[in-house]
Amino acid sequence: MSTEASPAVSSPAGLTHKQIQTILLGLMAGMLLAALDQTIVSTSIRTIADDLHGLSAQAWVTTAYLITSTVTTPLYGKLSDIYGRRPMFLTAISIFIFGSILCTFATSMYELAAFRAVQGIGAGGLFSMALAILADIAPPRERAKYQGYFLAVFGMSSVVGPLVGGFFAGTSTILGIVGWRWVFLVNVPIGIIALIIVAKVLHLPHIRHDHRIDWWGATALIVGLVPLLIVAEQGREWGWTSPAALGMIALGIAGVVAFILIEKRMKDEALIPMRLFNSRVFSIGLAVNVLVGLGMFGALSTLPLYLQLVKGATPTESGLLLIPMMIGIMGGSVLSGQLTMKTGRYKIFPVFGTAILALTFFLMLTVTVDTPYWLLDIYFLMIGAGLGLCMQTMLIAVQNTVPAKDMGVATSSATFFRQLGGTLGVAVFLSLLFNSLPDKIQGALQSASVTPAFQQAVAAAAQDPNSPSHAVAQSLVAASQGNAAAGASIGDSLSTDSSFLTTLDPNIARPFQVGYVDSTHLVYIIGGVIMVLAFVLVLIMKELPLRTKSALDERLEEQAQEDAALSAEALAATPESVTDEDGLHSAEPTAEPTAKPTGESEAELVAASVGSSAGAADGDGATAKGLPNGALSNGAVSNGAVSNGAVSNGAVSNGAVSNGAVSNGAAPSSAPSNGSNGSAHASADNRTDRGLGGFATIPADRQRETTGPGRHRA
């Protein structure tokens, strides 16, 4: 509740709505780094490759970044559960900045690939840590609302990225530095701003749970994923049945099997604990994330190519033409977020989302070379809306099934599986596209060869050496005369270099464009089938009630309950104080020893704070006569409390000593009761002596280290 003196807090962690928004600024600054980098680099990579004379190595620049960012994602999640989100998020931003500086000064494509791998190590934590921190500070019902801010970042980067990338790639030098190098250098000031914001505003209490780091699991994951991702990127060039591809696939499968076996053995210490998969919602949620990643990144990878190859758009223009899809993503996300917050229901949104995606992919089969832009905009908007309804909702569903202590692992796992699905989707779908492209082009050329317009255009270009279409026209003439080599080169032309399309006579270019459109049909069919499968999985997924507290609140409450349980256990181990006939407070003697807690010795249940008096027990410190269970008199009773081998009105029972036991059987009426930390006065000589602590000690392996006011670390 709000008061005039202080703003209303939304959680036991003390975070107001305004504070959450401030933290979101830091999270969005970190996410902007990765989102903007991807769109800028993809727009300018062709120019970079030409300048570094390494067009053939262009794929490795993408592959290296993809591998490291994917593999490190689950590792960030596990480490953040152990050491906290803030240090891992700052580490990710710092590594990304360092990698960007290295990329700026790359002198070859292979150097750039290595430096992009360093960048990817940082990028692996930017998305997963931001989403995990949001889960810490916002309950599931409100989380969808805040995730709209993140999607705004993606929307902005999709618009700004191509413009910035095109500007840098098209500028020779800026401040004496080659234009394309600013593609990476621009990350440095943005990253520094993100570092400052995160370091200043992101201060959350962290309850540390010490675990072993699953290095064996991480190694097995690398061994399993790296070969598979390399094959996914290079398989089309190598050949899917080549010895190199088959060897990589075998190594990858072996690594994945080893990873699963290691994770089962590591149990809670695992990088991705296998117990989480016992939840059907968690397992189905990750499966849907994979399928959405396959459909989203795989099928959608053909859209920019369609706009560039068929519609003649530049890379920058194609990015701007996809704005309707970004609007759909943001609109679907905002709508689902607001309704989830108001109703607490979420399953209906991925049901509609996957249905819309499946329908749209099948509608894309009607797209031709002449499809008007307004109809394409509708399709793009539908795809975006479907994705917006699915992406954040499935993440919330996964997060809602796991304990608060596993929030980092769950968030990074969902991100990891979606990235993995997207990587495999792009590789497989583009391979299907380009493998079928030569045959489709040949079929389109045969159909066009009987049209007068095509025949006249080819004949005119073949006779004019100055025509931009001259080389292609000569190859077409040779192919029509039975030259197989010429026919094969024409079929493969779009797979190697598509730039010639922009200079061709429209009548000659049209069969190539038709061939590309026909090749995309197989991709859209497979994408639609995948979305139907995702639709079925979402239908059978159980909708669990959304929790009303953030992960941080739940962890603080769990910690308080654990502390209360330990205190209660300690109090239960201390005997009740009774008043004897003389009015003295003493431990109530029992005829038989009480049961000891499992694994705890009687010595561990001795009073936690023994008085500092210098007196010693009578005799030589041997066990006093009459003390049950062998409790020691020496040092346990203050200043001569033991008389003639017996404790006067302060007998030790079951190894626990009553607070404030006195000698000579007398004590003033102010003697403290058992369990207090006051002092008892010895009546014999009026000397004040400290009483014995009334709380039993907690064994060392169960003690907690205080980390702040009201907070503890396990």
Dump pLDDT digits (tens) for 332-341: 888 888 888 8
3-state secondary structure 211-252: CCCCHHHHHHHHHHHHHHHHHHHHHHHHCCCCHHHHHHHHHH
Token digits for 631?
A: 């409790």
- Alpha-carbon distance 363 to 377, whole Å? 13
Distances (CA, A) of 507 to 373, 445, 655: 21, 11, 100
How much of the chain, in percent, has pLDDT values that exceed 90? 12
Please state the rounded mean pLDDT for residues 501-518: 85
What was the pLDDT predicted at 493? 64
Strand 642-643 and strand 585-587: the pairing is unpaired
Locate tokens 């201060």: which residue?
A: 203
Q: What pLDDT digit, counting tens, does each position of 268-308 carry? A: 777 788 888 888 889 998 899 888 888 777 767 788 888 88
213: confidence class by pLDDT, cuts 50, 70, 90: confident
How much of the chain, in percent, has pLDDT values that exceed 70? 73
641: confidence class by pLDDT, cuts 50, 70, 90: very low
- Alpha-carbon distance 206 to 713, whole Å? 8
- Alpha-carbon distance 240 to 19, whole Å? 52
Q: First CA to last CA across the chain, in angstroms?
A: 31
Model pTM score: 0.69
> Which DSSP symbol is given to 296?
I
- Alpha-carbon distance 498 to 406, whole Å? 48
pLDDT surpassing 90 at residue 149? no
pLDDT surpassing 50 at residue 36? yes
pLDDT surpassing 90 at residue 109? no
Q: State whether residue 585 is helix, strand or coil.
A: strand
Token digits for 334?
A: 């905002």
CATH architecture of structural domain 15-209: Up-down Bundle (1.20)
- Alpha-carbon distance 577 to 581, whole Å? 13
Per the rule left: phi > 0, alpha: psi between -120 and 50, beta: everything else, 482 is left
What was the pLDDT predicted at 210? 61
pLDDT surpassing 50 at residue 171? yes
pLDDT surpassing 70 at residue 219? yes
What was the pLDDT predicted at 678? 39
Ranges 418-422, 610-614, 702-706, most confident: 418-422
In sequence order, the β-bridge partners of residue 586 are 578
Would you kindly state where each structural domain of the chain is located, as residue ranges?
15-209, 441-519, 550-714
User: Whose CA is closest to 508, among 477, 485, 537?
Assistant: 477
